[in-house]
Chains A and B, each alone.
Chain A
Amino acid sequence: MEIPENVRKRLSIPAEEHFFAGHTACQGCGASLGIRYVLKAYGRKTIFVIPACCSTIIAGPWPYTALDANLFHTAFETTGAVISGIEAALKARGIKVKGDDGVMVVGWAGDGGTADIGLQALSGFLERGHDAVYIMYDNEAYMNTGIQRSSSTPYGAWTTNTPGGKRHFLEKRHKKKVIDIVIAHEVPYAATASVAFPEDFIRKLKKARKVEGPAFIQLFAPCPTGWRSPTDKSIELARLAVQTAYFPLFEYENGKYKINMPSPKKEPKPIEEYLKLQGRFKYMTKEDIEYLQSWVLREWEKLKKLAEVFG
Chain B
Amino acid sequence: MAEYKPIRKVVSGNYAAAYAAKHARVQVVAAYPITPQTSIIEKIAEFIANGEADIQYVPVESEHSAMAACIGASAAGARAFTATSAQGLALMHEMLHWASGARLPVVMVDVNRAMAPPWSVWDDQTDSLAQRDTGWMQFYAENNQEVYDGVLMAFKIAETVNLPAMVVESAFILSHTYDVVEMIPQELVDEFLPPRKPLYDLADFSQPFSVGALGGPNDYYEFRYKIAKAMEDAVKVIKDVGKEFGERFGRDYSEMIEKGYVDDADFVFMGMGSLMGTVKEAVDLLRKEGYKVGYAKVRWFRPFPKEELREIAESVKGIAVLDRNYSFGQEGILFNESKGVLYNTDARPIIKNYIVGLGGRDFTVGDVRAIAENMKKVIEAGKLDREVEWYHLKR
- The answer to whether A and B interact is yes
- Using a CB–CB cutoff of 8 Å, the interface residues on chain A facing chain B are 44-45, 47, 49, 56-57, 59-65, 67-75, 77-78, 80-86, 88-93, 95, 103, 120-121, 123-124, 128
CB contact under 8 A between A121 and B214, given known A78-B95, A91-B56: no
CB-contacts of B54-104 with A (<8 A):
54-56, 58-62, 64-66, 68-78, 80, 94-95, 98, 102
Question: Please, how many angstroms separate the alpha-carbon atoms of A68 and B209 in the complex?
Answer: 8
Cβ contact within 8 Å between A82 and B61: no
Asked if residues A92 and B78 are in contact (CB atoms below 8 Å), the reply is yes
Known: A74-B71, A89-B73, A89-B74. A84 touches B209 (CB 8 A): no
A120 contact set on B, CB distance < 8 A: 61-62, 65
Chain B residue contacts of A80, Cβ below 8 A: 65
Shortest C-beta distance, B368 to chain A (Å), equals 43
Interface contact A82-B72, CB-CB below 8 Å? yes
Q: Closest Cβ of chain B: how far from A140's Cβ, in Å?
A: 24
30 A-B residue contacts at CB 8 Å? A47-B203, A56-B214, A59-B213, A61-B213, A61-B215, A65-B210, A67-B208, A68-B208, A69-B205, A70-B205, A72-B102, A73-B210, A74-B68, A74-B72, A75-B68, A78-B68, A80-B65, A81-B64, A81-B65, A81-B68, A84-B65, A86-B73, A86-B75, A89-B27, A89-B75, A90-B76, A90-B203, A121-B68, A124-B65, A128-B58
| B55 and A70 form a contact (CB under 8 A) | no
Q: When the two chains form the complex, which single residue of B62, B69, B210, B219 contacts A72, counting CB atoms closer than 8 Å?
A: B210
Distance A84 CA – B72 CA, assembled complex (angstroms):
7
* A85 and B214 contacting across the interface, CB-CB below 8 Å: no
Give the Cβ gap from B93 to chain A, nearest Cβ, in Å: 11
A65 and B208 form a contact (CB under 8 A):
yes
Closest residue on chain A to residue B94 by CB atoms? A75
- Report the minimal beta-carbon distance from B139 to chain A, rounded to whole angstroms: 24
Picked from B54, B68, B213, the residue with its CB within 8 Å of the CB of A82 is B68
* CA of A47 to CA of B204, assembled, Å: 10
B65 touches A72 (CB 8 A): no
**Cα A40 to Cα B353 with chains together (Å):** 63
Given contacts A47-B202, A84-B30, 10 further A-B pairs with CB under 8 A are: A57-B214, A69-B208, A70-B210, A71-B208, A81-B72, A84-B65, A85-B74, A86-B73, A92-B73, A93-B203
Q: Are A88 and B203 in contact (CB under 8 A)?
A: no
Task: Return A17 CB to nearest CB of chain B, in Å.
Answer: 13
Given the interface contacts A72-B202, A90-B76, does A85 sit within 8 Å of B68 by beta carbon? yes
Contact B55 A65 (CB under 8 A): no
Q: Which of A45, A62, A89, A128 contacts B215 (CB 8 A)?
A: A62
Q: How far is the CA of A63 from the CA of B219 in the complex (A)?
A: 9
User: Which secondary structure dominates where chain A touches chain B?
Assistant: mixed
Interface size on B, residues (CB 8 A): 44
A83 touching B72, Cβ below 8 Å: yes
A123 CB contacts on chain B under 8 angstroms: 61
Contact with A along B190-226 (1 / 0, CB 8 A): 0000000000001111001111111110010000000
CA of A74 to CA of B203, assembled, Å: 17
Q: Which residues of the other chain, B, contact A70 by a CB distance below 8 angstroms?
A: 202-205, 208-210
Interface string of B213-242 (1 = CB under 8 A from A): 111100100000000000000000000000
Q: Is the CB of B213 within 8 A of A73?
A: yes
Known contacts A62-B215, A72-B202; A88/B61 CB under 8 A: no
Partner of B61, one of A44, A67, A75, A121: A121
A71 in contact with B210 given A89-B76, A121-B61 (CB within 8 Å): yes
B222 CB to closest chain A CB, in angstroms?
Answer: 10
Tell me the complex Cα distance, A128–B219, Å: 38
A60 vs chain B, min Cβ distance (A) = 7
Contact A93 B77 (CB under 8 A): yes
**Are B28 and A92 in contact (CB-based, < 8 A)?**
yes
Given contacts A77-B64, A93-B203, A121-B65, contact A85 B76 (CB under 8 A): yes
Per the bound structure, the CA–CA distance linking A92 and B208 in Å amounts to: 22
How far, in whole Å, are A252 and B77 apart by their CA atoms in the complex?
A: 34
Give bound CA distance, A86 to B71, whole Å. Answer: 8
